[in-house]
């Protein structure tokens, strides 16, 4: 009961499969990859700080540098990866092949 009282929930209509997570401790953000979207949540308040629409299921999510995340998704059986701008930072970087990071199957 104690954890349930302290825990907060986040969800968005039309989005499912919140399975890929990465924590940015310096910015106090939790990045959540799901089906159809990537979210940035403030770790202290679970307040939504940013959203990026994406195709299909996010399968790989990793900090690339101080301004970008590297994300890969299934993209309808043709996996694709891209550099995503972190919340409040610079311009996007060019896309890159997935190189085994995102399986083509859409279901977990």
pLDDT digits (tens, 9 = 90+) for 35-67: 888 888 888 888 888 887 776 788 888 888 888
Nearest to 36 by CA among 18, 9, 49: 18
Give per-residue pLDDT as tens, 70-81.
Answer: 888 887 778 888
Residue 106 has pLDDT above 60, yes or no: no
| pTM reported for the whole predicted model | 0.71
Per-residue model confidence (pLDDT) at position 102 = 52
Distance CA 96, CA 31 (A): 20
Distance CA 61, CA 54 (A): 13
């Amino acid at each position: 009961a104690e954890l349930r009282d302290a825990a907060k929930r986040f969800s968005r209509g039309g989005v499912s499969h919140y399975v890929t997570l990465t924590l940015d401790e310096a910015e106090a953000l939790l990045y959540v990859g799901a089906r159809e979207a990537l979210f940035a949540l403030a770790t202290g308040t679970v307040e939504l700080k940013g959203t990026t629409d994406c195709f299909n299921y996010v399968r790989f999510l990793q900090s690339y540098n101080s301004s970008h995340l590297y994300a890969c998704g299934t993209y309808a059986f043709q996996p694709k990866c891209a550099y995503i701008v972190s919340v409040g930072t610079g311009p996007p970087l060019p896309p890159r092949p997935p190189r085994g990071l995102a399986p083509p199957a859409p279901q977990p």
